[in-house]
Structure 1
């Protein structure tokens, strides 16, 4: 069985190859290791292989791991799960990135509760591309207005968009979904020329990262290919 270090190397090479094939600049796509339900020891093993950024879905579990790994000063923590209003303070204070902001209320709370931090909190708007009832995210049509309001908030920095397209789509439809998100980011840049921070597309996972990178992904969120099949939390 492959070790976590081997898997980090394999996924990194996939990303590098896909970036090259897409004609994009080397290093323009980063790997976010999805470590939800994984023990701190797995994160430590991935870190020893050079992985820095880790994505967590469950707040209490994440806080325990952040504490257990506090000796690793260069770890970058990303919150990628649904956000409850009563959890925003801890998220705002403990994480470097939040990929799953889908409404103004949450953005305002993160902004208020990040106050006093040394750096702004990087956030992405989560978009429900396929309008699936089971998934969080704002609608594509709501992105421009929501982004304008969030860009005006202090203490947070809107970096771009995140999506989890329907995995049961055909490859062609999946490509089209990723392209919709890329087009939405391009439109935001055009409509907000002073917002230099809009540089991020968080999309693509273990099974479709090549398609996502071809469409412009800058973060790919990979769990299974790094850590193996996940147990239920």
Structure 2
């Protein structure tokens, strides 16, 4: 058992997470605050592909969250399938001071499910709680929508950092927990030769059937989308 524990500690886990939602809801600032503890009050729409890789420690394991920003494509409702490819987690963001961004959540959720596995770990994020005097969407409304859709829910402020780290960590920890349960279920199918030193475990969902087949053949290397 000790040798397995040492080998498992040497492995990395890489999870792709996407930020989706209407333009100007604060997606880029959420990422900047989480990854670099920065905030840009006059930031312009993201142009070009942008992602940050953030390391986290979960139960003694190093987990890397590769977080993708929509690169401004959401302004044209043209977020490509390549953006979603391989994503196993998502932050679905709206602005609590702009109801129209909340009303768009259903469309973004449909798009997410069109391009990703239906079970992609998703948290609904009501951003900009610092604008409490301009609030147009109540906390109760956000929570009710999340419960109806089976999503996690949290309100955040990229400006004052409220719940930003917690929102990202909620998604990453749930993905990790799902992968861990899959590994435990398949433990009896493993052989010592299937566990290597320094492997990167990438949880992806490019093709659901292929991912499921890979999960049965080598669950430690390819977990399928959760």
Report the TM range for the smaller structure's normalisation.
0.3 to 0.5
Q: Which structure carries more relative contact order (alpha carbon 8 Å, separation 6+)?
A: 2
Q: Give the TM-score taking structure 2 as reference length.
A: 0.37
Q: Give the TM-score taking structure 1 as reference length.
A: 0.36
Structure whose residues are more often strand by fraction: 2
